[in-house]
Structure 1
């Protein structure tokens, strides 16, 4: 006889952990929430971008990597903007273990790029590494 409760638990765990057992959740501690944090990151004026994404970055006072999202009306109506936010959060969730620790980033999607989660994920990893090297050289 099959035990369905163990199957549910296994599938729930597999969606939140990667192959090495590390959590892939996007927690509240990984979000930039205060206006003061956004102002600090923008004031640093350290940025990098490509055709999918523009990222502003600064050192994180909490030693964890955190993101904030800024999706403007140039990207489309409310439904489209919220879809882009979901894609960016998912890209960060999937790539968080490939991103260097200890930086705060503000992610700004490029208007009209029609990017996928994979596009955002690749951009996030490469641009965050570039920004981390710049932060370390300061």
Structure 2
């Protein structure tokens, strides 16, 4: 397998995993995304993606989440070992993949400096 895959072990899948961010998670706001980060017990990087109905209809929300998954798959080296949830804000639907990549790469660069 290549390193550009996205196996289930690297995903946040269940509701309790997403609810853990309500308690003590670090937040980083960008213009179109909110990055929630919580250190885990050495289980590696696990990532989840959230887009509420404020962002758009189901087609729009799924499109944003697909682009976010692709960003993660292509840029795993930017992510630190933690549980991370990327939440799309209103207006994120107008971004193309390059704009998403630029905004999130800058955000994860700041996170690496803060937590490295």
TM-score bracket, normalised by the shorter chain, equals: 0.7 to 0.9
Distance verdict in 2 for CA 1:118–1:63, change over 3 Å: farther
> What TM-score do you get using the length of structure 1 for normalisation?
0.71
1:123 counterpart residue number? 103
Give secondary structure in 2 for the equivalent of 1:60: coil
Matched with 2:81 is 102
| 1:87-113 CA distance string (max 9 Å, x none) | 11111111112x133111111112123
Distance 1:134-1:34 versus aligned 2 partners, 3 A rule: farther
In structure 2, relative to structure 1, the CA distance for the partners of 1:135 and 1:58 (3 Å cut) is: farther
Question: How far apart are the structure 2 equivalents of 1:116 and 1:85?
Answer: 12
User: Is the partner of 2:107 in helix, strand or coil?
Assistant: helix
Measured after TM superposition, the shift of residue 133 of structure 1 is: 4.2
CA RMSD for the aligned pairs? 2.1
Length-normalised TM-score, structure 2: 0.83
Any conservation in 1 of the 2:32–2:91 contact (CA below 8 Å)? no
Give the corresponding residue for 1:8: none
Could you list the structure 1 runs, at least 4 aligned residues long, displaced by more than 6 angstroms after superposition. none
* Structure 1 residues 60 and 132, CA gap change in structure 2 (3 angstroms): farther
Match of 1:5 in 2: none
Aligned to 1:25: 5
- Cα distance in 1 for residues equivalent to 2:5 and 2:114: 27
Q: Which has the higher contact order (CA 8 A, sep 6+)?
A: 2
Q: Which runs of 5+ in 2 are unaligned?
A: none
> Which residue number in structure 2 is paired with residue 57 of structure 1?
37
Which has the greater radius of gyration? 1
